[in-house]
Amino acid sequence: MSHTLGRTRTALPQPAVPGPAAPPHSPPALWPGSTTPLPDDDLAVGGVPLTELADRFGTPAYVLDEDEVRHRCRAYLRAFPDTDIYYAAKAFLCRAMAHWVQEEGLGLDVCSAGELELAVTTGFPPERIVLHGNAKSPEDLRSALRLGVGRIVIDSTSEIARLAAAVPVGNRQKVLIRVVPGIAAGGHAKIRTGTEGQKFGLSLADGSAQHAITRVLGQPRLQLVGLHCHLGSQITTVKPYLSAVRRLVGLLARIHDQHGLALPELDLGGGHGIAYRPGEPALDPVGLGVKIRAELAGSCAAAGLPVPRLAIEPGRAIAGPSGIALYRVLAVKQTGGHTFVAVDGGMSDNPRPALYGVRYAPRLVGRRSLAAPAAVTVVGRHCEAGDILASDVPLPSDLRPGDLLAVPVAGAYHLSMASGYNLVGRPPVVAVTGGHARLLVRRESLADIQGRDVGL
């Protein structure tokens, strides 16, 4: 067990901060385990004051606690013994992140040639990489085969012949079939991927999955090693995963009966929910691991099948609570009965509130305020009414331009989904550990943006 400030760290999903260090208006669970209080209501993460990071690297900026990332990787390995754990790169990827998860013993789940090539440049073993995607480009498949990825997840029947034709003569590529089990789970309709009527996977109900399995088994250059499913994102209960196990084991049994084949692998994807605000539920990986393994063993025993090797793909649950976003207040405005606090970032570095209506718990750092809290809406700088980072959150009523706001649980699906809207440039990513800070990803400059514009 690792320790912080002489106290044993709590189990996932959220590590603890000692009680007196809890930031007001935000419970300890929302902040990385290294978070400590400083004078003037500043906070230190990884031993580095947030105000110092803002002054040194500017704002907006993203801070990533390296020790928190590593702690969460290790906690997943403990919660899921004898399981292949692939970090979902789509949550957030840079070379350092790939290096950390590799050192901690995790594999990698990628969705494009871009993610794949970036990981491999760090020395990440390609055989520990799984390639996903509902519409893999020819370049995606060429890169995967050239670099030797361990698994490719088949998402459509049209992909089967195209992939088989691309495999060099004399080789066999290991593949999984992505199955849609018909289970509704996830925090928002736009991030539910286990139901019928969405773009991912092959339906169990209409026979598409079984048809794809037969076709793959007829391709000598493809080796079917298992089934895959991903139910969605921000799932906070265990029940949907147990239902998926039962349905997929039922399919494994039919495959065994029809083809005499016991597939050796079952990948249940990720989607493990985390808390973004006080009081929100979060999925406990320890309990999830225990119940999934028990359900898998029991279902296989009832079907007379050997238990396949389990794989999971956590992303948000590792990166999300390890990251903090820093913003400067640019303006405070009272209008229409509302108080709007405008900051120097917004939907170009975090589109999730605009896309899914998610909410956060920002707090003032670096200035002690005795003013009573008031409900304000923190908005971004972009030309969209929906550019809102946090609605109706309690912040000191004397907020003013120049104040620094910190937003916890900001490590996943912010920068990975960032855009070039209004050409403001994407923020940097700064790693902290042991009292030191270092730049991982530099700020996107106006020169970067203008350099891509090559014609008149």
Residues 296 and 368 reside in one and the same domain: no
Domain boundary among 260, 283, 318: 318
Residues 61 and 101 reside in one and the same domain: no
Domain boundary among 282, 297, 318: 318
Six token digits for residue 175: 């593949």
Residue with tokens 């973004």: 276
- Number of residues written out for the chain: 456
Residues 281 and 414 reside in one and the same domain: no
Binding site residues for pyridoxal 5'-phosphate, as ranges?
A: 271, 313-316, 413
pTM, to two decimals: 0.90
Please report the pLDDT score of residue 196 as a whole number. Answer: 57
Domain boundary among 272, 299, 318: 318
- Assign residue 345 the CATH number of its domain: 2.40.37.10
Residue 383 appears among annotated catalytic residues: yes
Inter-residue contact 47 to 432 (CB < 8 Å): yes
Number of domains in the chain: 2
DSSP-based three-state secondary structure for 429: strand
- Residue 451's Cβ-count burial label (10 Å; 0-12, 13-18, 19+) is exposed
Inter-residue contact 411 to 72 (CB < 8 Å): no
Binding site residues, as ranges?
A: 271, 313-316, 352, 356, 384, 413
Q: What is the DSSP string of 173-189?
A: EEEEEEEE-----SSSG
Binding site residues for substrate, as ranges?
A: 316, 352, 356, 384, 413
Each residue's pLDDT, cut to its tens digit, for the chain (456 residues) gives 333 332 334 344 443 333 333 444 443 569 999 999 999 999 999 999 999 999 999 999 999 999 999 999 999 999 999 999 999 999 999 999 999 999 999 999 999 999 999 999 999 999 999 999 988 999 999 999 999 999 999 999 999 999 999 999 999 999 999 999 878 555 445 444 445 566 778 988 888 999 999 999 999 999 999 999 998 888 999 999 999 999 999 999 999 999 999 999 999 999 999 999 988 999 999 999 999 999 999 999 999 999 999 999 999 999 999 999 999 999 999 998 899 999 999 999 999 988 888 889 999 999 999 999 999 999 999 999 889 999 999 999 999 999 999 999 999 999 999 999 999 999 999 999 999 999 999 999 999 999 999 988
d(CA 11, CA 55): 33
The reply to whether 90 falls in a domain is yes
d(CA 177, CA 266): 10
The reply to whether 17 falls in a domain is yes
The reply to whether 455 falls in a domain is no
Residues 219 and 328 reside in one and the same domain: no
- How do beta strands 173-180 and 151-154 pair? parallel
The one catalytic residue among 73, 111, 229, 383? 383
Residues 173 and 277 reside in one and the same domain: yes
The reply to whether 456 falls in a domain is no
Please report the pLDDT score of residue 203 as a whole number. Answer: 84
**Closest to 31 (Cα-Cα) out of 328, 352, 365:** 365
